Chain A
């Protein structure tokens, strides 16, 4: 049980929440210091809690900073990474209890937006079993790699299948099973940057089975979100397509400028289940400012929308770039800062 979100708080209760994960414990500490509780001296502060639900560690300390704090709660998303532990995904990861997540930490969203965007879901159908752990990723041999900001950077390669970074410990999630009302959406949000003179499209693969395409980076069934680069007449257009083996059928496309190349913007791929007309499933891609909540990007910054029910179970995620990107790599790259997956109300 965590700290209450309103009303009077007791220092004893806060101590017990930090010490034994139970605000209501009958234990009576002999010496309880608000400073020690707030700055992590008494026990590490759970960084999975959103910034407004945990102490900031700075003077002056206040008991009110502990409103709604839960010392042992997991991260409220279903799947996410920001690589802020300095590991691209194939090493020993640092969990979210220790570092939190960039989308929450950077102050991009205010408290009310975070409360809407970060909907706790305890279905538990995603590996690795708790939402505290970061995913495992596998990547193409030459790159991507992390830059000095711990963002994933894709640059030039001569590999015939380009570069990729795919999650590998995600079991599966059925969109139809997870969404129980038409006002819910399964939302995947990621932060993206492409240079204005990049000359290569970027692709996201929403992996809908586990059979590898000849390209080991992707599977034979995917929904594919493609961002067109400056070499394309429709620069910045977003294409949504469905892959079956080596056949790729376009479902929808935006006009140019859905994404403004040379800028950092947040993408949201969202899945919506209807309850009428045979329960069709709608797939949407929104592209919006980094400071806007996930539901707002879905509702107000939609770029493409398509009905498709061919695939329903998501097995993982993949970022991808083609070979022969322009050089030098210092000024020609794709960059991903984080990905975060949750269920939101729209």
Chain B
């Protein structure tokens, strides 16, 4: 489903409107996980949903990486170079939206509701 963002771009919602989604641009955070390997693995997570003090997600929500239209194709919004990207977050409460928009990793809200 194609959704227009407040930045003028068109975004792809691959859940096709099955759930109410909001689109956010966020900085990404990295942390070292040693649960599965003592040598550690570097995990990359969307900053607005991740609690870096405890290395867990603070919000119990469904989300996925978002893609943006470039010409007639869709391309990833997440860039490892800038460590920024957009994510669709579904079924958010108003309180959760407020928390996200006050998060240090928050960059922009591009879509408040896809429906």
Contacts and interface: CB of A to CB of B under 8 A. Distances in A.
Nearest to B28: A249
A200 B80 CA distance: 29
A233 B37 contact: no
A305 interface: yes
A23 B34 CA distance: 60
The size bracket of the interface on B is 20 to 34
**Chain A CB within 10 A, most for which of B14, B36, B42, B63:** B36
A241 B44 CA distance: 9
Q: Which secondary structure dominates chain B's binding surface?
A: strand
B12 A277 contact: yes
A214 interface: yes
A136 interface: no
Contacts of A232: 56
Contact of A255 (B38, B62, B73): B62
**Chain B CB within 10 A, most for which of A160, A233, A249:** A249
A41 interface: no
A250 B14 CA distance: 16
A87 to B, nearest CB: 27
Contacts, number: 97
A160 B63 contact: no
Interface in B17-72: 33, 35-46, 56-57, 60-65, 67, 69, 72
Contact of A161 (B38, B62, B75): B38
B64 A305 contact: yes
A164 B14 CA distance: 32
Contact of B65 (A161, A215, A251, A278): A251
B115 interface: no
A278 B72 contact: yes
Given A233-B56, A256-B60, A280 B67 contact: yes
B42 A247 contact: yes
23 contacts: A160-B39, A161-B38, A200-B35, A233-B56, A233-B60, A243-B41, A246-B39, A246-B40, A246-B41, A246-B42, A248-B41, A248-B44, A249-B78, A251-B64, A252-B64, A253-B62, A254-B62, A277-B72, A277-B73, A282-B14, A303-B62, A304-B64, A307-B14
Interface of B: 12, 14-15, 33, 35-46, 56-57, 60-65, 67, 69, 72-76, 78, 80
